[in-house]
Structure 1
Amino acid sequence: MFLEIKLRDLMEVSEDKFWIGLTDSGKEGRWLWVDGSPLHERLTFWSNNEPDNWIALNPVGEDCVRMGERGGTHDLKCWFDQSCDVPQKSICEKATRTSPRVCS
Protein backbone atom coordinates (compact mmCIF):
# COMPACT_ATOMS: atom_id res chain seq x y z
CA MET A 1 0.00 0.00 0.00
CA PHE A 2 2.92 2.33 0.80
CA LEU A 3 4.38 1.97 -2.72
CA GLU A 4 1.01 2.35 -4.36
CA ILE A 5 0.41 5.68 -2.63
CA LYS A 6 3.91 7.01 -3.39
CA LEU A 7 3.93 5.85 -7.03
CA ARG A 8 0.51 7.16 -7.92
CA ASP A 9 1.84 10.72 -7.48
CA LEU A 10 4.81 9.98 -9.77
CA MET A 11 2.76 8.63 -12.66
CA GLU A 12 2.76 11.28 -15.36
CA VAL A 13 0.84 9.19 -17.91
CA SER A 14 -1.34 6.13 -17.48
CA GLU A 15 1.29 3.87 -19.04
CA ASP A 16 3.97 4.74 -16.47
CA LYS A 17 5.37 1.56 -14.94
CA PHE A 18 8.08 0.95 -12.35
CA TRP A 19 10.85 -1.65 -12.26
CA ILE A 20 10.88 -3.30 -8.84
CA GLY A 21 14.30 -5.00 -8.92
CA LEU A 22 13.13 -8.57 -9.57
CA THR A 23 14.52 -10.69 -12.41
CA ASP A 24 14.80 -14.23 -13.73
CA SER A 25 17.54 -13.37 -16.24
CA GLY A 26 19.93 -15.90 -14.66
CA LYS A 27 17.55 -18.87 -15.00
CA GLU A 28 14.06 -18.73 -16.45
CA GLY A 29 11.43 -19.01 -13.73
CA ARG A 30 13.90 -18.50 -10.84
CA TRP A 31 13.05 -15.02 -9.60
CA LEU A 32 15.72 -13.14 -7.65
CA TRP A 33 15.84 -9.65 -6.19
CA VAL A 34 18.78 -7.42 -7.19
CA ASP A 35 20.52 -8.27 -3.91
CA GLY A 36 20.47 -11.96 -4.92
CA SER A 37 17.78 -13.05 -2.45
CA PRO A 38 15.07 -15.32 -3.85
CA LEU A 39 11.47 -14.28 -4.26
CA HIS A 40 9.24 -15.82 -1.59
CA GLU A 41 6.49 -17.37 -3.71
CA ARG A 42 3.84 -16.71 -1.03
CA LEU A 43 4.50 -12.98 -1.25
CA THR A 44 3.83 -12.28 -4.91
CA PHE A 45 1.50 -9.88 -6.64
CA TRP A 46 1.45 -11.33 -10.15
CA SER A 47 -1.38 -10.18 -12.36
CA ASN A 48 -3.52 -12.86 -14.01
CA ASN A 49 -1.52 -15.06 -16.41
CA GLU A 50 1.78 -13.50 -15.30
CA PRO A 51 4.65 -14.11 -15.52
CA ASP A 52 4.24 -15.20 -19.14
CA ASN A 53 7.71 -14.59 -20.66
CA TRP A 54 6.09 -13.22 -23.83
CA ILE A 55 8.54 -13.31 -26.76
CA ALA A 56 6.55 -11.56 -29.53
CA LEU A 57 8.43 -8.26 -29.23
CA ASN A 58 11.75 -9.60 -27.94
CA PRO A 59 12.93 -13.18 -28.60
CA VAL A 60 14.91 -13.08 -25.33
CA GLY A 61 11.59 -12.90 -23.48
CA GLU A 62 10.61 -11.03 -20.36
CA ASP A 63 13.12 -11.26 -17.53
CA CYS A 64 12.39 -8.15 -15.46
CA VAL A 65 9.39 -7.29 -13.30
CA ARG A 66 7.46 -4.06 -13.15
CA MET A 67 4.44 -2.85 -11.28
CA GLY A 68 1.91 -0.43 -12.61
CA GLU A 69 -1.37 -0.01 -14.36
CA ARG A 70 -2.52 -2.31 -17.11
CA GLY A 71 -5.13 -1.53 -19.74
CA GLY A 72 -6.43 1.53 -17.92
CA THR A 73 -6.94 -0.20 -14.58
CA HIS A 74 -5.90 1.66 -11.48
CA ASP A 75 -4.31 -1.22 -9.62
CA LEU A 76 -0.65 -0.54 -8.91
CA LYS A 77 -0.40 -3.68 -6.80
CA CYS A 78 0.03 -6.01 -9.79
CA TRP A 79 3.32 -7.32 -11.14
CA PHE A 80 4.05 -8.00 -14.81
CA ASP A 81 7.14 -9.51 -16.39
CA GLN A 82 8.57 -7.41 -19.20
CA SER A 83 11.62 -7.25 -21.43
CA CYS A 84 14.43 -5.59 -19.49
CA ASP A 85 15.10 -3.42 -22.56
CA VAL A 86 11.84 -1.47 -22.17
CA PRO A 87 12.45 1.90 -20.49
CA GLN A 88 10.56 2.22 -17.21
CA LYS A 89 10.91 4.28 -14.07
CA SER A 90 12.61 2.46 -11.17
CA ILE A 91 12.04 1.96 -7.50
CA CYS A 92 15.30 2.17 -5.55
CA GLU A 93 16.06 1.13 -2.00
CA LYS A 94 18.34 3.30 0.09
CA ALA A 95 19.96 2.69 3.43
CA THR A 96 18.50 4.68 6.30
CA ARG A 97 20.52 7.56 7.64
CA THR A 98 22.10 6.56 10.94
CA SER A 99 23.93 9.71 11.89
CA PRO A 100 22.09 12.79 13.12
CA ARG A 101 21.65 15.63 10.69
CA VAL A 102 23.59 18.78 11.34
CA CYS A 103 22.00 22.05 10.28
CA SER A 104 24.12 25.11 9.75
Structure 2
Amino acid sequence: MVEAEPDLYERLQIRYPPSPTRVLAPGSPPAASRWTLGTVLAMGMGVVLVATLAALITLYVQGQADLRAARAELVAIGAHPLPDPDGPLNPSESPSAAQRRKEQLGRWLQGLSLGWRYHQGKIYYFSREPKPWSEAEAACRFTHSYLTSITSLEEQDYLAQEARGGSYWIGLTATGPGGSWRWVDGATYSQAQSFWAPGQPDSTDHGQWGQEDCAQIHPVRNGLWNDHNCNFTFPWICKRDLSMP
Protein backbone atom coordinates (compact mmCIF):
# COMPACT_ATOMS: atom_id res chain seq x y z
CA MET A 1 0.00 0.00 0.00
CA VAL A 2 1.42 3.30 -1.07
CA GLU A 3 1.42 5.99 1.56
CA ALA A 4 -0.08 9.29 0.50
CA GLU A 5 2.36 12.10 0.23
CA PRO A 6 1.90 14.95 2.70
CA ASP A 7 -0.35 17.62 1.50
CA LEU A 8 1.44 20.58 -0.10
CA TYR A 9 0.14 22.91 2.56
CA GLU A 10 1.52 20.71 5.29
CA ARG A 11 5.06 21.25 3.94
CA LEU A 12 4.63 24.95 3.42
CA GLN A 13 6.15 27.04 6.21
CA ILE A 14 4.67 30.46 6.44
CA ARG A 15 7.12 33.01 7.87
CA TYR A 16 5.63 36.20 9.17
CA PRO A 17 7.81 39.31 9.25
CA PRO A 18 8.93 40.29 12.76
CA SER A 19 7.08 43.07 14.46
CA PRO A 20 8.90 46.42 14.04
CA THR A 21 8.92 46.84 17.79
CA ARG A 22 10.87 43.64 18.19
CA VAL A 23 13.59 44.16 15.59
CA LEU A 24 17.05 44.33 17.22
CA ALA A 25 20.32 45.42 15.72
CA PRO A 26 22.79 42.58 15.16
CA GLY A 27 24.53 41.79 18.42
CA SER A 28 22.15 43.89 20.52
CA PRO A 29 21.45 42.55 24.00
CA PRO A 30 17.89 41.72 25.02
CA ALA A 31 15.68 44.57 26.16
CA ALA A 32 16.08 43.74 29.83
CA SER A 33 19.86 43.68 29.43
CA ARG A 34 19.81 46.99 27.58
CA TRP A 35 17.80 48.55 30.39
CA THR A 36 20.20 47.21 32.99
CA LEU A 37 23.25 48.41 31.05
CA GLY A 38 21.73 51.84 30.54
CA THR A 39 20.91 52.12 34.21
CA VAL A 40 24.45 51.15 35.20
CA LEU A 41 25.97 53.63 32.74
CA ALA A 42 23.69 56.40 33.97
CA MET A 43 24.58 55.65 37.58
CA GLY A 44 28.28 55.55 36.68
CA MET A 45 28.08 58.89 34.91
CA GLY A 46 26.32 60.31 37.93
CA VAL A 47 29.08 59.12 40.23
CA VAL A 48 31.75 60.59 37.93
CA LEU A 49 29.93 63.92 37.75
CA VAL A 50 29.54 64.07 41.51
CA ALA A 51 33.23 63.24 42.03
CA THR A 52 34.27 65.84 39.43
CA LEU A 53 32.07 68.48 41.04
CA ALA A 54 33.50 67.65 44.47
CA ALA A 55 37.05 67.97 43.11
CA LEU A 56 36.25 71.31 41.49
CA ILE A 57 34.71 72.60 44.70
CA THR A 58 37.80 71.49 46.63
CA LEU A 59 40.11 73.24 44.13
CA TYR A 60 37.95 76.36 44.25
CA VAL A 61 37.98 76.49 48.04
CA GLN A 62 41.75 75.90 48.12
CA GLY A 63 42.25 78.52 45.43
CA GLN A 64 40.21 81.06 47.36
CA ALA A 65 42.25 80.34 50.49
CA ASP A 66 45.48 80.83 48.51
CA LEU A 67 44.18 84.09 47.07
CA ARG A 68 43.32 85.41 50.54
CA ALA A 69 46.72 84.35 51.87
CA ALA A 70 48.51 86.01 48.94
CA ARG A 71 46.57 89.24 49.41
CA ALA A 72 47.37 89.24 53.13
CA GLU A 73 51.05 88.69 52.37
CA LEU A 74 51.07 91.53 49.85
CA VAL A 75 49.54 93.81 52.45
CA ALA A 76 52.02 92.70 55.12
CA ILE A 77 55.20 93.51 53.18
CA GLY A 78 55.95 97.16 52.62
CA ALA A 79 56.60 96.90 48.88
CA HIS A 80 53.05 95.69 48.25
CA PRO A 81 50.57 97.54 50.47
CA LEU A 82 47.69 97.30 48.00
CA PRO A 83 45.37 94.36 48.88
CA ASP A 84 42.87 94.78 46.07
CA PRO A 85 43.56 95.57 42.39
CA ASP A 86 40.46 97.78 42.46
CA GLY A 87 41.16 99.31 45.87
CA PRO A 88 41.90 102.96 46.60
CA LEU A 89 45.22 104.52 45.70
CA ASN A 90 47.83 105.23 48.34
CA PRO A 91 47.99 109.05 48.53
CA SER A 92 51.77 108.97 49.04
CA GLU A 93 52.58 107.24 45.76
CA SER A 94 52.30 108.20 42.14
CA PRO A 95 49.55 106.80 39.92
CA SER A 96 52.18 104.98 37.84
CA ALA A 97 53.60 103.21 40.93
CA ALA A 98 50.12 102.21 42.03
CA GLN A 99 49.40 100.89 38.54
CA ARG A 100 52.57 98.79 38.58
CA ARG A 101 51.50 97.29 41.90
CA LYS A 102 48.06 96.52 40.58
CA GLU A 103 49.57 94.77 37.58
CA GLN A 104 51.92 92.75 39.76
CA LEU A 105 49.15 91.68 42.10
CA GLY A 106 47.10 90.72 39.07
CA ARG A 107 49.93 88.49 37.84
CA TRP A 108 50.11 86.75 41.22
CA LEU A 109 46.41 86.12 41.32
CA GLN A 110 46.46 84.90 37.72
CA GLY A 111 49.30 82.52 38.57
CA LEU A 112 47.32 81.06 41.46
CA SER A 113 44.34 80.57 39.19
CA LEU A 114 46.57 78.64 36.74
CA GLY A 115 47.71 76.07 39.27
CA TRP A 116 50.54 77.73 41.18
CA ARG A 117 50.48 77.06 44.93
CA TYR A 118 50.98 79.72 47.57
CA HIS A 119 53.10 79.09 50.65
CA GLN A 120 54.86 81.46 53.04
CA GLY A 121 55.19 84.45 50.71
CA LYS A 122 56.11 82.37 47.64
CA ILE A 123 54.26 80.57 44.89
CA TYR A 124 55.32 77.21 43.47
CA TYR A 125 54.47 75.37 40.29
CA PHE A 126 54.66 71.57 40.06
CA SER A 127 54.90 70.55 36.43
CA ARG A 128 53.29 67.41 35.02
CA GLU A 129 55.45 66.81 31.97
CA PRO A 130 59.09 65.62 32.19
CA LYS A 131 62.03 67.56 30.75
CA PRO A 132 65.84 67.49 31.08
CA TRP A 133 67.11 69.80 33.83
CA SER A 134 68.20 72.63 31.50
CA GLU A 135 64.86 72.66 29.68
CA ALA A 136 63.02 72.63 33.00
CA GLU A 137 65.01 75.67 34.12
CA ALA A 138 64.21 77.40 30.81
CA ALA A 139 60.52 76.67 31.35
CA CYS A 140 60.69 78.34 34.76
CA ARG A 141 62.51 81.36 33.36
CA PHE A 142 59.76 81.71 30.76
CA THR A 143 57.30 82.25 33.62
CA HIS A 144 59.66 84.75 35.36
CA SER A 145 60.65 82.20 38.01
CA TYR A 146 63.46 79.76 38.78
CA LEU A 147 63.74 76.08 39.54
CA THR A 148 63.08 76.11 43.25
CA SER A 149 65.74 76.54 45.88
CA ILE A 150 65.17 74.93 49.30
CA THR A 151 66.78 76.78 52.14
CA SER A 152 64.91 75.70 55.28
CA LEU A 153 63.52 72.57 56.89
CA GLU A 154 60.05 74.09 56.74
CA GLU A 155 60.30 74.63 52.97
CA GLN A 156 61.75 71.14 52.47
CA ASP A 157 58.87 69.58 54.40
CA TYR A 158 56.29 71.55 52.42
CA LEU A 159 57.72 70.64 49.01
CA ALA A 160 58.25 66.98 49.96
CA GLN A 161 54.63 66.80 51.07
CA GLU A 162 53.33 68.48 47.92
CA ALA A 163 55.49 66.23 45.71
CA ARG A 164 53.40 63.29 46.97
CA GLY A 165 56.11 60.71 46.39
CA GLY A 166 57.15 61.99 42.95
CA SER A 167 60.56 62.92 41.57
CA TYR A 168 61.01 66.60 40.65
CA TRP A 169 63.97 68.61 39.45
CA ILE A 170 64.98 71.41 41.81
CA GLY A 171 67.31 74.35 41.14
CA LEU A 172 70.50 72.84 42.55
CA THR A 173 73.33 72.06 40.16
CA ALA A 174 77.02 71.20 40.47
CA THR A 175 78.23 73.86 38.07
CA GLY A 176 79.86 76.22 40.54
CA PRO A 177 83.64 76.70 40.91
CA GLY A 178 85.34 73.32 41.08
CA GLY A 179 82.03 71.55 40.57
CA SER A 180 80.54 72.91 43.78
CA TRP A 181 76.78 72.94 44.25
CA ARG A 182 74.84 76.20 43.76
CA TRP A 183 71.23 77.37 43.54
CA VAL A 184 70.27 78.88 40.18
CA ASP A 185 68.14 81.60 41.81
CA GLY A 186 71.17 82.96 43.66
CA ALA A 187 70.27 81.59 47.10
CA THR A 188 73.27 80.58 49.21
CA TYR A 189 73.91 76.84 49.24
CA SER A 190 74.95 75.45 52.61
CA GLN A 191 75.96 71.86 53.15
CA ALA A 192 74.80 72.20 56.75
CA GLN A 193 71.34 73.27 55.53
CA SER A 194 70.98 70.63 52.82
CA PHE A 195 68.65 67.65 52.71
CA TRP A 196 70.46 64.94 50.78
CA ALA A 197 69.32 61.34 51.11
CA PRO A 198 71.87 59.05 52.81
CA GLY A 199 74.82 58.40 50.50
CA GLN A 200 73.97 61.33 48.22
CA PRO A 201 75.30 63.06 46.23
CA ASP A 202 77.30 60.17 44.83
CA SER A 203 78.16 61.62 41.36
CA THR A 204 77.46 58.36 39.54
CA ASP A 205 79.13 58.29 36.11
CA HIS A 206 76.66 57.62 33.25
CA GLY A 207 79.33 57.22 30.59
CA GLN A 208 78.61 59.29 27.50
CA TRP A 209 75.83 61.05 29.37
CA GLY A 210 78.23 62.39 31.97
CA GLN A 211 78.02 62.47 35.74
CA GLU A 212 75.15 63.38 38.04
CA ASP A 213 75.32 67.16 38.32
CA CYS A 214 71.66 68.08 38.95
CA ALA A 215 69.51 67.57 42.02
CA GLN A 216 65.97 66.37 42.44
CA ILE A 217 63.47 65.71 45.18
CA HIS A 218 63.29 61.93 45.30
CA PRO A 219 60.68 59.55 46.76
CA VAL A 220 63.30 57.93 49.01
CA ARG A 221 63.17 59.06 52.64
CA ASN A 222 60.20 61.41 52.26
CA GLY A 223 61.45 63.57 49.43
CA LEU A 224 65.11 63.96 50.34
CA TRP A 225 67.50 65.01 47.59
CA ASN A 226 69.23 62.81 45.05
CA ASP A 227 71.75 63.84 42.41
CA HIS A 228 70.96 62.64 38.89
CA ASN A 229 72.22 63.02 35.36
CA CYS A 230 70.93 66.34 33.99
CA ASN A 231 69.98 64.79 30.62
CA PHE A 232 67.35 62.50 32.13
CA THR A 233 63.78 63.78 32.12
CA PHE A 234 61.67 64.50 35.20
CA PRO A 235 58.93 66.95 36.16
CA TRP A 236 60.14 70.07 37.97
CA ILE A 237 59.20 72.71 40.54
CA CYS A 238 59.35 76.45 39.81
CA LYS A 239 59.35 79.11 42.54
CA ARG A 240 58.63 82.84 42.57
CA ASP A 241 59.04 85.14 45.53
CA LEU A 242 56.48 87.87 46.11
CA SER A 243 59.24 90.45 46.01
CA MET A 244 60.14 89.49 42.42
CA PRO A 245 58.84 91.86 39.70
- After TM superposition, the score normalised by the length of structure 2 is 0.32
Q: Does 1:7 align with 2:157?
A: no
For 2:210 and 2:190, how far apart are their aligned partners in 1? 25
- In the aligned structure 1, how far is the partner of 2:159 from the partner of 2:184? 18
Following superposition, the deviation at residue 32 of structure 1 comes to: 0.3
Question: How do residues 1-104 of structure 1 correspond to structure 2 at under 5 angstroms?
Answer: 1-8=157-164, 16-56=166-206, 58-70=208-220, 75-76=222-223, 78-96=224-242
Residue 58 of structure 1 contacts residue 83 of structure 1 at CA under 8 Å; is this kept in 2? no
Q: Distance in 2 between matches of 1:59 and 1:27?
A: 21
Structure with a larger share of its residues in helix: 2
Report the CA distance shift for 1:97/1:42 in structure 2 as closer, same or farther (over 3 A).
closer
* Deviation at residue 41 of structure 1 after TM alignment: 1.1
8 Å contact from structure 2 (residues 172, 183) kept in 1: yes
- Which structure has more relative contact order (CA 8 Å, sep 6+)? It is 1
Shift of 1:29: 4.3
Segments of 4+ in structure 1 off by > 6 A?
none
User: Quick check: 2:200–2:227 contact (8 Å CA) kept in 1?
Assistant: yes
Residues 58-92 of structure 1: CA deviation (Å, up to 9, x unaligned): 5520110001214xxx621x111001111111111
* Residue type at the aligned position of 1:3: L
**Structure 1 residues without counterparts, runs of 5 or longer:** 99-104
Rounded Cα–Cα distance in structure 1 between residues aligned with 2:178 and 2:199:
16
Percent identity (aligned): 30
TM-score after normalising by structure 1: 0.70
Contact 2:172-2:214 at 8 Å conserved across structures: yes
Segments of 5+ residues of structure 2 without an aligned counterpart are 1-156
Superposition CA RMSD, Å: 2.4
Shift of 1:45: 1.0
Q: Counterpart amino acid of 2:160?
A: E
Q: 1:93 to 1:57 in 2, by over 3 A?
A: same
> Match for 1:84: what amino acid?
C
Paired positions, count: 88
**Which structure has more strand as a fraction of its residues?**
1
Looking at structure 1, the residues matched to 217 and 181 of structure 2 have their Cα atoms a distance apart, in angstroms, of 15
What are the superposed Cα offsets for residues 3-50 of structure 1, whole Å, 9 maximum, x if unpaired? 122111xx5xxxx31111000134454110012344111111111111
Per the alignment, in what secondary structure is the counterpart of residue 92 of structure 1? strand
Which range moves more in the overlay, 28-37 or 79-88? 28-37
Within 2, Cα distance between the matches of 1:28 and 1:53?
A: 14
